[in-house]
Amino acid sequence: MQQRSRDTRKQIIEAAVALFCEAGYEAASVADICDRAGVSKGAFYHHFPSKQALFLDVLEDWLGRIDAQLFSPSMIGGDVPACILNMAEMLGFVFREASGRLPIFMEFMVQASRDQAVWNAAIQPYRRYQNRFAELIANGQKSGSIKENLDPHLVARVLVSLAAGILLQAVVDPRAADWEKVTREGIRMITEKIRRSS
Amino acid sequence: MQQRSRDTRKQIIEAAVALFCEAGYEAASVADICDRAGVSKGAFYHHFPSKQALFLDVLEDWLGRIDAQLFSPSMIGGDVPACILNMAEMLGFVFREASGRLPIFMEFMVQASRDQAVWNAAIQPYRRYQNRFAELIANGQKSGSIKENLDPHLVARVLVSLAAGILLQAVVDPRAADWEKVTREGIRMITEKIRRSS
């Protein structure tokens, strides 16, 4: 792709993300996105076949980046409980990075519950996370740092649920709490509970 | 209110909840709701000044019922850790009761992040929960069943976050897990972690 074409694509995505956050996916039209990005409808449809295609692209990009950050080799090396605590710190970083963009997280979830295409796009990376966390827990059990009598998938679901619930509340009531601290302390409680004392 | 008027009101609410779940709050018009309920627009506006007023009414009713169930005198009597575990069972009950209606939970949250009136209506009961959970933890500290070196508000946020995250995932991927079990086991991990061993 030419540099200019890449710039246009980026402008469209940034305008769309801003509008999805402010007005919602349903309310933001392709015309609104073009207006905001300062591009023609022709340019829009050159890059994306539809608003939904753009939406799915944003979703894939966002989930892919979180994935890459959370499960980078430097993150998942070493002791498993320490690794989970590192991930909790990383989630704090995701909060700071995303800040105003967090409502999109919920938009994705709501769309996913109603639209099969969005659901398919959202559910695959989500199940991948879930499985990777479960693998991590299972590895901890093998290497002796996590208690053996636990179901790795159940522990993974509890960890993912806690993180998702904190994200949800950070969107709705960002100033109610120090959400990074809630993340760190909450994940720590569960981690200490599942850690095998040496 | 006359019985017939109450029936009409109930019909309107049921039609609106079904449409909000299926199509979303934005997409469901007053005309759609009236069609589904089999009532005239005149009847609708006799009961509700606007779609938003109906939405807020549904929200208040829903949160009020959860509130009454969770914090009933029979629930919050006795040992605090046992009480929290009872509440986790109750959440399982809420899942079964709500099932198809859960998408509305997210609709509320998304609307709340965008609309001041919805935010005000959602945030007051939410903060009330938060405070009630924190009070419960503080009571447990006073009566010796919860560790003293914990911030009651932080513990309450972790518990509420876990429950909210499980709800969120149960909406998006209801069949992925036994969400009642995830609730029970997740809350139990945290409860055992904060319980003061006697």
Q: What is the pLDDT of residues A47-102, one digit of tens each?
A: 999 998 998 888 788 777 777 888 888 777 779 999 999 888 887 777 766 666 66
Cβ-nearest to B171 among A113, A126, A171: A113
Mean pLDDT for chain B?
A: 86
Query: Looking up tokens 């909060």, which residue turns up?
Result: A95
Q: What is the mean pLDDT of residues B117-145?
A: 87
A113 pLDDT higher than 90: no
Task: Determine, for residues A23 and B106 on separate chains, whether the beta-carbon distance falls below 8 Å.
Answer: no
- Residue of chain B whose Cα is closest to the Cα of A28: B26
A23, A160, A190 ranked by CB distance to B189: nearest:
A190
Please give the pLDDT value at position A198: 61
- Residue B13 — pLDDT band, cuts 50, 70, 90? very high
**What pLDDT shows up at residue B63?**
76
A112 contacts B110? CB cut-off 8 A: no
Would the pLDDT of A29 be above 90?
yes
> pTM for this one?
0.84
Q: Which long-range contacts (CB under 8 A, 24 or more apart) does A126-132 make?
A: A126/A63, A126/B172, A126/B173, A127/B173, A127/B176, A128/A67, A129/A67, A129/A70, A129/A160, A130/A156, A130/A157, A130/A160, A130/B176, A131/A156, A132/A71
Q: Nearest 5°: phi and psi at B195?
A: -65, 140
The complex's ipTM works out to 0.83
Give the mutation candidate from A189, A190, A195 for the B interface (greatest B CB count, under 10 A).
A189
Which residue from B minimizes the CA distance to A169? B161
CB contact under 8 A, B106 and A113: yes
Question: A-B interface: how many C-beta pairs under 8 angstroms?
Answer: 140
Cα atoms in the 13 Å half-sphere on the side-chain side of A122 = 22
In chain B the first and final C-alpha atoms are separated, in Å, by 55
Find the mean pLDDT for residues A131-140: 93
Highest-confidence range of A69-78, A82-91, B44-53, B84-93, by mean pLDDT? B44-53
Residues of A in contact with B154 (CB under 8 A): 181-182, 185
Rounded CA-CA distance A123/B12 in Å is 33
Q: Inter-chain contact B23–A169, Cβ cutoff 8 Å?
A: no
Q: What is the mean pLDDT of residues B124-145?
A: 89
| DSSP state, residue A149 | T
* Contact (CB<8Å) A157/B114: no
Q: Do A161 and B173 touch (CB under 8 A)?
A: no
CA atoms within 13 A of residue B140's CA, in its CB half-sphere: 30
Cα–Cα distance measured from residue A75 to residue A87, given in angstroms and rounded to the nearest whole number:
7
Please name the member of B113, B158, B192 whose beta carbon is closest to the beta carbon of A182: B158
Residue B161's nearest CA partner among A55, A63, A51, A158 is: A158
Residue B161: list chain A partners with CB under 8 A.
Answer: 162, 165-166, 168-169, 182, 186
Comparing CB atoms, the residue among A24, A126, A162 nearest residue B114 is: A24
Determine the pLDDT at residue A196.
92
Alpha helix (H) ranges present in B50-175? 51-70, 73-76, 80-98, 102-112, 116-142, 152-172
Closest CA to A195 of B166, B193, B198, B147: B193
Give mean pLDDT, residues B69-93: 83
In angstroms, rounded to a whole number, what is the distance separating the alpha carbons of residues A24 and A18?
9
Shortest Cα distance, chain B CAs vs residue A29, angstroms: 14
Per CB-CB distance under 8 Å, the chain B contacts of A106 are 106, 109-110, 113
What average pLDDT does this structure show over B37-61? 91
Measured between beta carbons, which residues in chain A are less than 8 angstroms from residue B160? 165, 169
pLDDT at B97 over 90: no
Under an 8 A CB cutoff, do B182 and A107 touch?
A: no
Residue B50, C-beta contacts closer than 8 angstroms, at least 6 positions apart: none
* Cα dihedral value A15, A16, A19, A20, nearest 10: -150
d(CA B32, CA B94): 28
- Six token digits for residue A12: 């469209």
Mean pLDDT value of segment B12-18? 92
Report d(CA B70, CA B83) in Å as an integer: 10
Highest-scoring range by mean pLDDT, A58-72, A95-109, B24-38, B106-120: B24-38
Measure CB to CB from residue B182 to each of A26, A112, A157 and give the nearest one.
A157
- Which residue on chain B is closest to A118 by alpha carbon? B172
Tell which of B21, B162, B167 to mutate to test the A interface (max A CBs under 10 Å): B162
